[in-house]
Amino acid sequence: MMSSKYDLTDEQKELVAIAREIAEKKIKPIRAELDETQEFPYDIVKIFGQSDLYRVFVPSEYEGLGMGVYESSLITEELSRVCGGIALAYAGSLLGTFPILLFGNEEQKKRFLPPIASGEKLAAFCLTEPEAGSDASNVRTTAKKEGDYYILNGTKQWITNGGVAGLYSVFANIDISRGIRGITAFVVDRDTPGFSIGKKENKLGIRASNTTELIFNNCKVPAANMLAKEGQGFKVAMKTFDMSRPGVAAQALGIAQGAYEEALKYAHERKQFGQTIYSFQAVRFMIADMAMKIEAARALVYQSAKLADAKDPDSGPYSAMAKAFASDVAMEVTVNAVQVLAGYGYMKEYPVEKMMRDAKITQIYEGTNQIQREVIATHLTKELSRLEKK
Amino acid sequence: MGFEKKIVIIGETRGCKIHHVTYELTSKAAELAGKINAEVVTLVCGHEIEKGDLERLFKTGAHRAVVVDSPELVLVNDDHYLRDIADFIKSEKPDMALAGATPFGRALVPKLAITIDAGLTADCTELGIEEGTGLLLQTRPAFGGNLMATIKTPEKRPQMSTVRPKVFKINETYGNPVNIVKKDHIPGKSRIKMLQTVKDLEQVINIAEADIIVSGGRGLGSKENFALIFELASKLNAAVGASRAAVDAGWIAYSHQVGQTGTTVSPKLYIAVGISGMIQHQVGMKSADCIVAINKDPDAPIFNIADFGIVGDLFDIVPKLSKIME
Amino acid sequence: MKKVIVFIKQVPDTSELKIDPVTNTMIREGVPSIINPFDMYAIEEAVRIKEKWGDTEVTVITMGPPQADAALREAISMGCDNAVLLSDRKFAASDTWATSYVLSKAVGKIGEYDVLLAGKQATDGDTAQVGPGIATWLGIPCITYVNNIEEIKPGYVKLHRMHDEGYDVIEIEGKFLLTVLKELNEPRIASFRGKMNAKKAEIPVWTAEDIGADPAKIGFMGSPTRVVKAFSPPVKQGGIKISAEEDPSVPEKLKSYLREKLII
């Protein structure tokens, strides 16, 4: 069913068609191999760039197409339907770009956005540290002002697009004693002296995505690369998540869709006891549940993306709901898809075991689903006060 | 005795040898000539062509051979060739002119058709003479062999065709007297510079003209596994073909690709190994005399056109075949 | 401004062709039209030349019915700058001789150009004659079966021409027409901006009169060849099918089958 049931504009339909063509023709033939080798899909990134996909989320003044979270999510969904890992070469760059889109000044946007729009440079979002996971405020990377520069020291971990990105949105603390109010955001170019790439992680899923450590060793970042003001970094990160979570939700949605399609197809082909397994209620109901939950997730994901684009004050909790719900659906659907394919599903010749492994991360990153529920619950307290006022 | 008409064969040479398609066409022309009382003249452009090869033209049906010899004709430079051939056709004014539908013929003859203002039918698989008019009837496949069309050229002369190699048999029983005439090469400038010709070492036997082809597809799974195909091919003295999937995966060079965006082949025997046989592949090979398919999927479309289908694991069957075939 | 012209043809998608099992004829109705697959490589190469040279315009031309407009728009979505549709009832039933004449006259109307490109052949007619024909009408060299371009600049090219036993390395100075093979490149997926350009593009339709074509050289009357009849080849039927699992002696059976048929 997918996006066709939604009232897309001609332009949105074209984007979906392009993403699908890339996914089917270029990504599908290599996804299993890259999953095995953990190689980064440089050729696919080139195709994303050539097809204008990175332009979608960049404003037209900076060589973009001036579209938003909704369009990017439609693309991410289509790409993830075939490979959740390779899709991250797209979606991860969007995540890394949001701090610039939301808080960059005119000069910074002019400088950073055009190469992101063309696909010449990927962006990466760099918040997580060994001691700063769900407690994102506990950033230990430091930034010390020296003249026109900030000197960064510390280590980031599990950074999507680490090493392959050209631009890094990095969160560092200018004064640890200030705690959360010391966190400050910077854009760091890969070629900055003192910046290096640490170890590359060996992951359960999304293995075609590059996940690395980043090491800052007296890394000299121009003060002109600071986003917003000193001490506003935490706000930059949180606002970014409000915008980016529909993207993770779309990734989960696409993975679920891909797994459901495989299960549906297989159940109609596979014969046991002289009939297709789809004729058995035990199987057909599993697949009916998949379709139902995916459609429910899609409604929520699209709605949250539209609210993010509309800068709706409640887009934060909606994004959290979409992210948590869609990723829980993705996990359930992929696990069940493996069950429908059973022995074949467990084998690497079929794509569903990979989809199951890829799905898991969507419940974890950009805030675990437990954190999402915290975001939602906190918002609900405000809802209560609104209810009481009426 | 006087001839009423004239058929010219535009010969093709490789080094000092004459290409077999030239003999095939000479024989076919001799057969057609019998119906319309025509002289069969074979034009041979090249350099230091072997005498035996030239003499063989008369065994295969030529009445006259015209030889243009020049070092400028060693490599196939269309500019040089075109000048000699166009001049020859203009002076001889034949009724029909035939050439091989080889890369040589398919590149050169369309240019000749415009240069001398004549009609041309490409890639024919059958030639005949129309009753009453004596016109050349040229039959050719289109739509990848899904449609056949018979074409004639009512007015313009000569009536020209390029003809697929190995479609017609060489008939060596004519025994016409040797009658070799020399024609001077017309010197002139060329806008094309032939720097060198490079042989593809992997391509030991040319697939377009091979009698037997063993082809590998996606089912092989890797470049290394193509060794199985090469081994069976060498046992059968066959050429190695491939499906588009195998070429796109980088397992083998494009020159081996059979099918719509590759080469069209019509061997005596085509063995498709691990090839599902999508229509794009079929259009390139379904005119083979005998098709053998080995595939693990019993529903693979290749079995619909295979004379002998084996449903099973190619990694088991192909080595066994290689062992017993000599 | 440098100029590359690409010749394309709209053809039925052969992969969608079906044969009527009763009449054994091709069913053409409902078969989608596509750009001739070989022409996709010519389009891609033209766009790459443009990207390499800069300040270069790529024009794509086709001769066909008004519906061929869709093929031209697809070419624009891949990065061609503009397009011309040659469409006129007078062009109908042109053979390769007349078609190449019409296309060469269109080039004449366009005027200046540096490179002409076409696919090796079209998958409907399979003739491979139109490319060399156009070049000959224009009096420029044509290299067919091009599978590698080592160097290309305005007025110069060094390339590989595939043949039966390998390839020739060829150099040309001046203008030229190349017909290309699949091996040359991998056609890109249309970009979003390309698709938007394609939607907006105004594609002129040129008639025989517009290009100053001699009526005696076009269409049915201008074509030296005549189709006498078209017919379907005999259908190939599947033969023996054996499961290797059930019959382990199948390799031997195949060997004796081929022996019987005198193939080996």
Contact C169 B198 (CB under 8 A): yes
Same domain assignment for residues B134 and B179 = yes
Same domain assignment for residues A238 and A206 = no
pLDDT, residue C21, reads 65
Mean pLDDT, rounded, of chain A: 96
Q: List, in order, residues 6 or more apart from A67 with CB less than 8 Å away.
A: A11, A15, A56, A57
Mean pLDDT, rounded, of chain B: 92
Residue C255 lies in a domain: no
C171 touches chain B (CB under 8 A): yes
Task: Residue B310: give the domain boundaries.
Answer: 212-324
Identify the weakest region by mean pLDDT among A314-318, B199-203, B259-263, B269-273.
Answer: B199-203
Mean pLDDT, rounded, of chain C: 92
Mean pLDDT confidence for A307-317: 94
What CATH number should be reported for the domain holding residue C30?
A: 3.40.50.620
pLDDT at B148 over 80: yes
Is C217 strand, coil or helix?
A: helix
Considering only CB atoms, which chain B residues are within 8 Å of C123? 143-144, 260
- Give the chain B residue whose CA is nearest to the CA of C94: B119
Query: Which tens digits make up the pLDDT trace of B3-53?
Result: 999 999 999 998 899 999 999 999 999 999 999 999 999 999 999 999 999
Same domain assignment for residues B114 and B229 = no
Residues A267, B88: Cα–Cα separation, whole Å: 69
Mean pLDDT confidence for C6-22: 81
A334 close to A356: Cβ distance less than 8 angstroms: yes
Band of residue B205 on the pLDDT scale cut at 50, 70, 90: low
Same domain assignment for residues A376 and A266 = yes
- The 8-class DSSP code of residue A74 comes to H
Residues A320, A300: Cα–Cα separation, whole Å: 10
- Residue tagged 């008639």 (tokens): C207
pLDDT at B326 over 80: no
The residues pairing with B41 across neighbouring beta strands, listed in sequence order, are B8, B64
Same domain assignment for residues A286 and A311 = yes
Same domain assignment for residues B145 and B27 = yes
- Residue tagged 């619909």 (tokens): B304
Q: List, in order, residues 6 or more apart from A317 with CB less than 8 Å away.
A: A375, A376, A379, A380
Same domain assignment for residues A110 and A202 = no
pLDDT at A1 over 60: no
Share of chain A above pLDDT 90, in %: 94
Same domain assignment for residues A270 and A373 = yes
Share of chain C above pLDDT 90, in %: 72
Q: How many CA atoms lie within 13 A of A361 on its CB side?
A: 22
Q: Give start and end residues of each alpha helix (H) in B102-223.
A: 103-115
What CATH number should be reported for the domain holding residue B173?
A: 3.40.50.620
Band of residue A302 on the pLDDT scale cut at 50, 70, 90: very high
CA distances to A26, A30, A262, A347, C253 from B276, rounded to whole Å, are 20, 20, 20, 22, 22
Same domain assignment for residues A245 and A379 = yes
Residue B199 lies in a domain: no
Nearest by CB: C228 against B146, B151, B254: B151
Residue B207 lies in a domain: no
Residue B116 lies in a domain: yes
Interface-testing mutation among A51, A55, A67, A71, with chain C (most C C-beta atoms within 10 A): A51
Same domain assignment for residues A105 and A134 = no
Quick count: other Cβ atoms within 10 Å of Cβ B91?
8
What CATH number should be reported for the domain holding residue A368?
A: 1.20.140.10
Element (H, E) at B192: strand B192-199
- Give the chain C residue whose CA is nearest to the CA of A49: C191
AA letter at B63: H
Structure tokens at A223: 């003060």
Q: At what angle do helices A315-346 and A233-269 cross, to 10 degrees?
A: 40
Q: List, in order, residues 6 or more apart from A61 with CB less than 8 Å away.
A: A109
In angstroms, the separation between the Cα of residue B175 and the nearest Cα of chain C is: 29
Same domain assignment for residues A364 and A238 = yes
pLDDT, residue A353, reads 98
Same domain assignment for residues B146 and B295 = no
Residue C233 lies in a domain: no
pLDDT, residue B204, reads 54
Residue C182 lies in a domain: yes
Q: Which chains touch C (3 or more CB pairs under 8 A)?
A: A, B
pLDDT at B200 over 80: no
Residues A16, A27: Cα–Cα separation, whole Å: 15
Band of residue C29 on the pLDDT scale cut at 50, 70, 90: confident
Nearest by CB: C192 against A14, A25, A26: A14
Radius of gyration of chain A measured on its C-alpha atoms: 21
Same domain assignment for residues A217 and A320 = no
Same domain assignment for residues A76 and A159 = no
Same domain assignment for residues A117 and A128 = no
Q: What residues of A act catalytically?
A: 366
**Residue where a domain stops, chosen among A122, A157, A185:** A122
- The verdict on whether omega for the bond into residue C37 sits within 30 degrees of 0, i.e. cis, is no
Contact C191 A18 (CB under 8 A): yes
AA letter at C124: D
Residues A109, A373: Cα–Cα separation, whole Å: 33
**Residue where a domain stops, chosen among B134, B167, B183:** B183
Residue A53 lies in a domain: yes
Band of residue A157 on the pLDDT scale cut at 50, 70, 90: very high
Structure tokens at C7: 């010749």
C231 touches chain A (CB under 8 A): no
**Residue where a domain stops, chosen among A231, A246, A266:** A231
Query: Which tens digits make up the pLDDT trace of C62-116?
Result: 999 999 999 999 999 999 999 999 999 999 999 999 999 999 999 999 999 999 9
Considering only CB atoms, which chain B residues are within 8 Å of C147? 254
Helices then strands, each counted (H, E), chain A: 11, 10
- The 8-class DSSP code of residue C188 comes to P
Same domain assignment for residues B23 and B168 = yes
Task: Residue C26: give the domain boundaries.
Answer: 2-222
Considering only CB atoms, which chain A residues are within 8 Å of C191? 18, 50-52
Identify the weakest region by mean pLDDT among A170-179, A356-365, B208-217.
Answer: B208-217
- Residue tagged 């009423």 (tokens): B4
Task: Residue A138: give the domain boundaries.
Answer: 124-231
- Residue tagged 């109901």 (tokens): A285
What CATH number should be reported for the domain holding residue B262?
A: 3.40.50.1220
Residue A390 lies in a domain: no
Domain count for chain A, please give it. 3
What CATH number should be reported for the domain holding residue A217?
A: 2.40.110.10
Nearest by CB: B154 against C12, C226, C258: C226
- Give the chain C residue whose CA is nearest to the CA of A56: C192
Contact C169 B313 (CB under 8 A): no
C217 touches chain B (CB under 8 A): no
pLDDT, residue A108, reads 98
- Give the chain A residue whose CA is nearest to the CA of C191: A51
Q: Give the residue among A184, A313, A298 at the shortest CA–CA distance from A250.
A: A298
pLDDT at B201 over 70: no
Query: Which tens digits make up the pLDDT trace of A244-266?
Result: 999 999 999 999 999 999 999 99
Domain count for chain C, please give it. 1
Query: Which tens digits make up the pLDDT trace of B42-66?
Result: 999 999 999 999 999 999 999 999 9
Domain count for chain B, please give it. 2
pLDDT, residue C262, reads 74
Provide the CA A217 distance to its chain's centre, in angstroms: 28
Is C111 strand, coil or helix?
A: coil
Top pLDDT among B284 and A220 is at: A220
Same domain assignment for residues B57 and B10 = yes
Structure tokens at A15: 């984007």
Query: Which tens digits make up the pLDDT trace of A39-83?
Result: 999 999 999 999 999 999 999 999 999 999 999 999 999 999 999
Is A22 strand, coil or helix?
A: helix
Residue C71 lies in a domain: yes
Q: Give start and end residues of each alpha helix (H) in B60-126.
A: 78-92, 103-115
Q: Give the residue among C192, C174, C198 at the shortest CA–CA distance from C60.
A: C198
C63 close to C99: Cβ distance less than 8 angstroms: yes
Residue C211 lies in a domain: yes
Same domain assignment for residues B226 and B297 = yes
C166 touches chain B (CB under 8 A): yes
∠ CA A212-A216-A221, rounded to 5°:
120
**Residue where a domain stops, chosen among A231, A259, A278:** A231
Query: Which tens digits make up the pLDDT trace of C33-76?
Result: 999 999 999 999 999 999 999 999 999 999 999 999 999 999 99
Element (H, E) at A34: helix A31-37
Mean pLDDT confidence for B60-86: 94
Residue C250 lies in a domain: no
Residue C138 lies in a domain: yes
A215 torsion bin: left (phi>0), alpha (psi -120 to 50), beta (else): beta
Residue B63 lies in a domain: yes
Q: List, in order, residues 6 or more apart from B311 with CB less than 8 Å away.
A: B295, B296, B297, B298, B303, C241, C242, C243, C244, C245
C170 touches chain B (CB under 8 A): yes
pTM (2 d.p.): 0.88
Is A15 strand, coil or helix?
A: helix
B41 close to B170: Cβ distance less than 8 angstroms: no
Query: Which tens digits make up the pLDDT trace of C145-183?
Result: 999 999 999 999 999 998 877 889 999 999 999 999 988
Query: Which tens digits make up the pLDDT trace of A18-47?
Result: 999 999 999 999 999 999 999 999 999 999
Q: Give start and end residues of each alpha helix (H) in C139-226.
A: 192-200, 219-222
Residues A354, B229: Cα–Cα separation, whole Å: 32
Same domain assignment for residues B305 and B223 = yes
Same domain assignment for residues A118 and A130 = no
In angstroms, the separation between the Cα of residue C200 and the nearest Cα of chain B is: 31
Residues C14, C123: Cα–Cα separation, whole Å: 8
pLDDT, residue A4, reads 74
